[in-house]
Chains A and B, each alone.
Chain A
Amino acid sequence: MVKDGFFSRFRPRFWDYKLGAQPYQPLFNYARIWILSVALLSAVCLVPLSVLFVVDFQLSQQAIESEVTLRTVRLASNTRRTLTYFIDERQAALRFIVEESKFEALVDPVHIKEMLRNLKVGFGGFVDVGVLLPSGQQVAYSGPFDLRGRDYGDKDWFKKTMQNGVYISDVFLGYRNSPHMIIAVKGRRPDNKSFILRGTLDIKRLIDIITGMELSENCDAFVINRQGVLQTPSRFYGDILERIDMPVPEYSEHTRAFETTDSKGNKILVGYAYIADSPYILEIVRMQDEVMNIWDSLRADLIWFFLGSFLVIFLVICGISTYMVNKVFYADQTRLRTLHRMEHTNRLASIGRLAAGVAHEINNPLAVINEKAGLIKDIFLFRHEYKEDSRVMEPIDVIISSVERCGAITKQLLGFARHLEVEVQHVHLGELVKEVLNFLKKESEYRNIEQVVDITEDVPCIYTDRGKLQQVFINLINNAYQAVDREGRIVVRARPDEDPDWVDIRVEDTGCGIAPEDIKKIFEPFFSTKKKSGGTGLGLSITYGLVKKLGGMVYVHSEPGQGTVFNIKLPIDMEGDVNEGSSG
């Protein structure tokens, strides 16, 4: 019982209630009812909560992930538009020049210089321009180098421009040893001969577009060509013109995103877009850690909320179940106590009736013995025959006095039976106690138990239910008899209480005492340390109930091995009218 101290404090009483060999059984197995109640309520309340939590958890996770993906895709899409526009604009400028200007004007060194200046002012980013013949020879050039007359006939870009009419190159170092790109446009002269107008672009403007995106710390944006070579510097994956350590994403007309793991083992989300009519692919890389951070804080909130509400609901369920089952348990206990008390009362009433019947049957023959012996004595006395012969007269006197003793006993029995039927009346405590002790007189003599009645003169008569009080004394004194060994001592004391409306009664014995762990339970029905020797465990619980009914209180003090004191405090008038009660 005491082994797990902390939990035992919260353990309701019904939990340890054992179905034993009792005459009346409780209606339910309370521990099982409690478990059932908690299980059912939990199933009804906590299962939906858990399901909701799991669904919400997954939805939130998906929502956050798709939100991040969407954001990445949108960013990639917007940036692609800017890049495409940048390239298209410059390509269109060159196309305009090719269509608008005469070939002769284009190859004029003054004119081409003027044209480069206009392009720089109007569009920006142009470093140089040149005009090439179909043979590959550059016939006009304006820019920081002297490239006039240089032959590009064997260059790949030249061939592709001749073939396709337009060409946008990868970023490369070239003669200039600084990263740049080429846009070339094929034009047609009036004599149907073709020529190429080539512009070189500084990619600084391109890099500015990318860095102007103001990405967060865990984000990276860069452009690669279709071979996976970086066209703009990357924050995480190397400098310009280095090969990126990731596969080139498959071609798609639209902006797309996918999740993957990079060479460093980071989980990343990649949004990418192919820039139309160019070798460029825009990539935006977002570290999944960042995505996770948002999700982590939300997830922690969700989990705490779930655990908190789960715990609160569970505790409330336990509390309510305990409360309800306890109520039923106590109601059932009351029912059982009532049943036991009824049985005990019935039994006592039967004993009373039986005793009265026996007394009656014995009294009649006793009366005959009395008269017959009396007659013999009379005859001897009146005829003066054996008047002086003590051998004859003494036995007759003994017979008569014995009959008197028997008569006294049966009258007491009849009195006992009679008191069971009586209600409230004035009771003299001393007389009542002596009457009860008389029943046990022989036993005390056999066992050499000393009976002491210590009731002072100033103890008033009390107005109470004599039958119930008698039963209280019978139970307590019987109890004391069972506790003491041979040559013990039983003392019944009574004193006026400090409160003048009460009396203080003590039944003390020098018996075996009560163990401290049993003291709390001795007034519980069926608690008995004498079960094997026929104790019902009802005596003290009934005594307790009776004293309560008389308006009094019972206390018990016990020292194992030393003895026990039952202390009863009774009101002088159990019906509350003290003046009337104390006069009788």
Chain B
Amino acid sequence: MKVLLVDDEKELVTTLAERLGLRGIESDWAVTAEQALEKAEKGFDIAVLDVKMPGVGGLELKKKMEGVVADMRFIFMTGHGSQEDFERGSAEGEFYLVKPVSIELLVKKLKEAAASVGK
């Protein structure tokens, strides 16, 4: 299971990547949409996207990534909790998580998402 973490907060994604690594989950990270699209070509099973990012937001990024890589699962993560975001995020992605997220919850959701892919 390969996971791509995308968030404009670099400290967050790097730390998360390291912690996932400690738990045996292979992951990479990106802080902008461009970087994420570049890295996506390497082939990931799941992308964890921040909904609100400067420039291209998570929901838009998801559409672009779908064009690049087929059969990818998405989990949305946000600090914001508007109803509109929640509804769209839940519809577009597998899960919609509100920050701060405990690592146990994230790992659980990643595994559930991965199971739906079939890996």
Contacts and interface: CB of A to CB of B under 8 A. Distances in A.
Report whether chain A binds chain B: yes
Interface in B5-40: 9, 11-12, 15-16, 18-19, 22-23
B98 interface: yes
Given A378-B22, A414-B98, A368 B79 contact: no
Interface stretch (A31-39, A353-361, A556-564): A353-361
Contacts of B12: 364, 367-368, 371
B1 interface: no
Given A364-B9, A403-B100, A371 B19 contact: yes
Contacts of B116: none
B81 interface: yes
A63 interface: no
A382 interface: yes
A370 interface: yes
A8 B52 CA distance: 63
A382 B79 CA distance: 29
Interface residues of B, number: 23
A418 B100 contact: no
A454 interface: no
Interface residues of A, number: 31
Contacts of A368: 9, 11-12, 15
A418 B9 contact: no
B80 A359 contact: yes
A235 interface: no
Which label, helix, strand, loop or mixed, suits the secondary structure of the A interface? helix
B99 A375 contact: no
B103 A411 contact: no
Interface in A280-328: none
B89 to A, nearest CB: 13
Interface in B59-114: 78-83, 86, 98-103
Interface in A388-409: 400, 403-404, 406-407
Nearest to A418: B83
Contact of A411 (B11, B22, B81, B83): B81
Nearest to A372: B15
A369 interface: yes
A361 B83 CA distance: 17
Contacts of B16: 371
B81 A374 contact: no
A363 B15 contact: no
A422 interface: yes
A160 B81 CA distance: 141
A415 B100 contact: no
Of A364, A372, A411, A414, most B-chain CB atoms within 10 Å:
A364
Of B9, B12, B78, most A-chain CB atoms within 10 Å:
B12
A255 to B, nearest CB: 109
A408 to B, nearest CB: 10
Contacts of B18: 375, 378
A367 B101 contact: yes
B83 A421 contact: yes
A363 B7 CA distance: 13
B101 to A, nearest CB: 7
Interface string A221-249: 00000000000000000000000000000
Nearest to A379: B22
Contacts of B78: 360, 363
A367 B60 CA distance: 23
A449 interface: no
Contacts of B19: 371, 374-375, 378
14 contacts: A356-B82, A359-B81, A366-B99, A367-B79, A367-B101, A368-B9, A369-B100, A370-B100, A371-B19, A374-B103, A400-B102, A407-B98, A407-B99, A414-B81
Interface of A: 356, 359-364, 366-372, 374-375, 378-379, 382, 400, 403-404, 406-407, 411, 414-415, 417-418, 421-422
Query: 5 tightest CB-CB pairs across the interface, nearest first?
Result: A363-B79, A414-B81, A370-B100, A367-B99, A371-B15
Given A360-B78, A364-B99, 4 more contacts: A360-B79, A366-B100, A370-B101, A417-B82
